[in-house]
Structure 1
């Protein structure tokens, strides 16, 4: 070995040692960890692969167990094929397990209405998690470097951002049981290329990095060189700022998440992350979740009074966290959207408001509640004629129970004889029950959902009143109004809306001889 080669070898080993010590200080890994390294074929990821491979074979260092993962995104077919082949060959030479997948990022983007880069990222991370699970790896190593960090911070600054955006990329973050680590985050790109050259590491050049149609490329090729004329250490300065912001962001995020977990009722699909003891001021809140969860694909409920008590900074972060929970691409929710929802939440009048957030999410302010719902339309099925007939109560059926497929509850009834002074009583416990003179009703009795223009003759009032107005008077939240059944007689006249009002039809009088007693058992009251 020549003196030059010996010096290069020593320099490489010294650099490996320094990288390992820094990673250990930052707790990026522990000795013996199994790590999946994402390798695209570029100089940064190829250097990272060689660095980890060296630690893989060194008992004096971390003794890491390294698995190489490569994603063919389907953008540049021939060039991407060459990159995949290069990574596979280099992994084999290093004696590392190699996993690869081919994805169709353009089609995925079109299917879900995403931009191409976001689609590629989603598919890439999904594969990295899959490989990590396969090999039992708790960490995935990414090759982002200091120039990437500077570009990210500037890009977010130009688009408008807060502390979270200016904190850039973290050295380490955890998501879905995997820790993503960035061991090269403080290295300049030029130093990475130089290190590859001195070590003889082969890499590929991505031609898309020179396309100015991408904002990131324009920042790297045109903007950063101009700014560095004013501050030659701009990249380092932006990296330091991002790290300081990350500390602030970590604390603020922990406070926001604590509030979310303590006070927000949240669900998505069959998973619920709500806390059962939350919102003591609204005792019905835990009951309401059963209706919402059965009706909407996802959502979040919050007591508005609690929201008003916290600082505006936490209010904004809480709204962003909620949207991040519900939306596929929540990182694209801008400040204007968050602030619009926040101002709607804090304003006193009107007491009910609704806003379309996008992505199938709608925000509702309903009296004392703030509600975010994924898919505003209910998932109640259209009923066939036979199913509709099953929601009739016939005069000849003395008693029974109906499970309501379009409502959150059941209807039960009895038809019995009545005599003044007899043991039978029609005394009602609450607004979930009603009694009618069975002989004065038009049969059959029907149960349906509310309809536009519905009116009802109200007991104690002259004439009829709009059902919509009754809901407003009773402060029934708009998102719950379809959960209440509307009971009509055989001619379609509304005789009762459980928990709202009863009509003045078929009142029980001293001369009444037969009573229809109806009860509504809402799943909201279980």
Structure 2
């Protein structure tokens, strides 16, 4: 087994001579064997080892005894030991996470602290070949992303260091045999025998059947994992470039342009969405699967111009015509607003825009678009107000003399439903709609009449 692990470390360049390695040690067979094996190589490779143990405080006195066991083992083998007790049940109550995810978060946070404290280059964990088989099977059954189907990575960046798994080359049986030959007496976690955990059911009932077909199952799965990881890395580079061409940023939100996105090959569509979600979440949550990716694709492909999806952790995906908005916080105004518009002033609006008002002694010489409006104080009632839309709103359109519903103006301009409730409408003191900024002007816009004093209004993004 030692030769297998050595060859695996060399092939994947998992360790460098003279490195500081933090080794996660629970006291079980896998992590204890890993610590023992690295200890036997430390003089040859000039390694500095730091054993990291976390008592998750889930099993009372039993888990305390495991911590003492690890400390004693490290003292016997002259290995620096960093052990900590973390109240995982309390953390679980605060966060609402499942027990396994809560324990993992606490454990990895402790590892990150040790990396910084000891300036470590590597975190070594005892995941082995059978763990890889179980992980890939579970993800295939449950559903995952294409990167998830590759299983457990051999090596990945971790807080300025690398997280490595040298035992992915060997099976659980080989590790047990190593422990017996080396006289190691690891502790056993009784929860590993309970079928209430999904992984244990795969371990106890499914993997043994597959091993009857191929005793070297773990080697085949590891090979599959590495091929998948290599393919994914290549496709991810293509997807990154493609995503940057079809994505736009709008303040803190992200917009996907649907037509160019759907023009991409299907494999790049899926991976582009995975990358986009990874950026938005800062790490895809475990509950996000290929099913969610499929739902987003269906939303983009459907004939209807609008629709919405609710994704984990409050992310909403909103289709509106040829755009798909990804947002954690809809910029809607459920309560509406009604604000006085003083002159001169810079009035910030809830939709991230401002209306700037000022006095002008002369009528503007250049042609003004829909982002500007000229008010003649002699022909409208002051003060002006800015408000959100109301049922039945209509305005007298400039240049036509006819009236039109505000709702129809929004539809013709393809304004997303999520933005309509927050869109500003400027009215005078008599309630006449003067202007829908950026979209339409009313017949009440001032006309040039010599040396009159005017009010000039400008609508622009807050950060422009």
Q: Please give the TM-score of this superposition, normalised by the length of structure 2.
A: 0.89
| SS in structure 1 of the partner of residue 378 of structure 2 | helix
How many residues are aligned here? Answer: 463
Superposed counterparts of 1:110-149, under 5 Å: 110-149=93-132
Structure 2 equivalent of residue 263 of structure 1 = 245
Deviation at 1:415, TM superposition (A): 3.7
1:122-162 CA deviation, whole Å, 9 max, x = no partner? Answer: 22222212211221113211100111111112211221346
Structure 2 equivalent of residue 98 of structure 1 = 81
Segment drifting more, 371-380 vs 311-320: 371-380
Deviation at 1:241, TM superposition (A): 2.6
Give the whole-Å Cα distance in 2 for the aligned partners of 1:324 and 1:208: 32
1:333 maps onto 2:288 in alignment: yes
Does the 8 A contact of 1:20 with 1:62 survive in 2? Answer: no
Give the whole-Å Cα distance in 1 for the aligned partners of 2:114 and 2:222: 30
Deviation at 1:454, TM superposition (A): 4.0
1:323 maps onto 2:272 in alignment: no
Superposed counterparts of 1:295-374, under 5 Å: 299-327=253-281, 330-347=285-302, 349-374=303-328
Structure 2 equivalent of residue 410 of structure 1 = 354
Segment drifting more, 139-148 vs 86-95: 86-95
1:25 maps onto 2:8 in alignment: no
Structure 2 equivalent of residue 281 of structure 1 = none
Deviation at 1:46, TM superposition (A): 0.6
Deviation at 1:500, TM superposition (A): 0.8
| SS in structure 1 of the partner of residue 326 of structure 2 | strand
Deviation at 1:39, TM superposition (A): 0.9
Structure 2 equivalent of residue 179 of structure 1 = 162
Does the 8 A contact of 1:324 with 1:331 survive in 2? Answer: no
1:321-378 CA deviation, whole Å, 9 max, x = no partner? Answer: 222333365332222221111122234x333332222321111233333321123356
Deviation at 1:255, TM superposition (A): 2.6
1:471 maps onto 2:410 in alignment: yes
| SS in structure 2 of the partner of residue 196 of structure 1 | helix
Give the whole-Å Cα distance in 2 for the aligned partners of 1:170 and 1:316: 20
| SS in structure 2 of the partner of residue 80 of structure 1 | helix
Q: Please give the TM-score of this superposition, normalised by the length of structure 1.
A: 0.79
Give the whole-Å Cα distance in 1 for the aligned partners of 2:83 and 2:405: 63
Does the 8 A contact of 1:413 with 1:518 survive in 2? Answer: yes
| SS in structure 2 of the partner of residue 184 of structure 1 | helix
Q: 1:480 to 1:100 in 2, by over 3 A?
A: farther
Stretches of structure 2 lacking an aligned partner (at least 5 in a row): none
1:261-314 CA deviation, whole Å, 9 max, x = no partner? Answer: x3365xxxxxxxxxxxxxxxxxxx5xx63xx22xxxxx4333333312221111
Q: 1:211 to 1:433 in 2, by over 3 A?
A: same
Q: 1:381 to 1:65 in 2, by over 3 A?
A: farther
Q: 1:185 to 1:318 in 2, by over 3 A?
A: same
Stretches of structure 1 lacking an aligned partner (at least 5 in a row): 1-14, 266-284, 294-298, 394-398, 418-422
Segment drifting more, 301-310 vs 199-208: 301-310
Structure 2 equivalent of residue 274 of structure 1 = none
Does the 8 A contact of 1:109 with 1:116 survive in 2? Answer: yes
Give the whole-Å Cα distance in 2 for the aligned partners of 1:481 and 1:258: 33
| SS in structure 2 of the partner of residue 244 of structure 1 | helix
Superposed counterparts of 1:69-468, under 5 Å: 69-161=52-144, 163-260=146-243, 262-263=244-245, 285=248, 289=250, 292-293=251-252, 299-327=253-281, 330-347=285-302, 349-377=303-331, 391-393=340-342, 399-416=343-360, 424-425=363-364, 428-451=367-390, 454-461=393-400, 464-468=403-407
Give the whole-Å Cα distance in 2 for the aligned partners of 1:175 and 1:515: 62
Give the whole-Å Cα distance in 1 for the aligned partners of 2:333 and 2:162: 37
